[in-house]
Chain A
């Protein structure tokens, strides 16, 4: 693929390096002489000095035959204009922009930028993901799709305490893989294993179903109606 990158700062520089290593053809455009010099010294002559929001500069960069266009400057207005230019003037099939101010991300998406990356939003998401919520702890995220392994503690009074694994109404695709009880060795539960309050279970689950899983395993049982 031929990929044009606007902005040769830390992000642009490392992206160019990675893409080159993967065998892609890369051109970086940056306004700053010293930035271009550094990239050209390290990676070969792949950086041109110029304004990535200027149609003539992009034309010279051969943006018309680019398969992808990536704007990574520290200025949202420049990233937006560069991508809109690439997309609408030069019909580049895929455009990607770094969004420095998270509140601009929705606008960029609405204006048709194919990929938006907000580093602040990514960091927040990641941290939020790592903070344990009640009874549920993230253990590991699997490479495959959006799967992860979480640990859930069955609380006192949970609706599933006393039920078998088979009776639990698990969200789509969730799999209880391991049961940890007191100091007993870990067990592989089957459909007939009875869950108790205080048990820890390890569950493989799609990230999106996390809240549904937490509810399914930790919700309090409705008080039993008194028999008349």
Chain B
């Protein structure tokens, strides 16, 4: 019973979330002065006049950088837990723990060297 009751809070939040933008926008509509002009209806782009279509093709290099970032970023997932338990593990099996991680990082460095040598890290 209490389990389903906890969904009541979710429902309340859901309704509030719906109500907030509706109320705010409706109130704004009644309170603001309404004098549209061509200048005002241009979509806002940090003060610069928008040009062209909003669907532009990005340079393929963004993808390469993103890929490289994702792969190396995700590897830190292994470094963090290792760092947290490092002291406890070292008491158990000594420097072998460090060696294990160095082994892992060594393979990552090969990967990085690969990216470097293949000129993925340069923007030319």
Do A and B interact? no
B residues in contact (CB < 8 Å) with A: none
A residues in contact (CB < 8 Å) with B: none
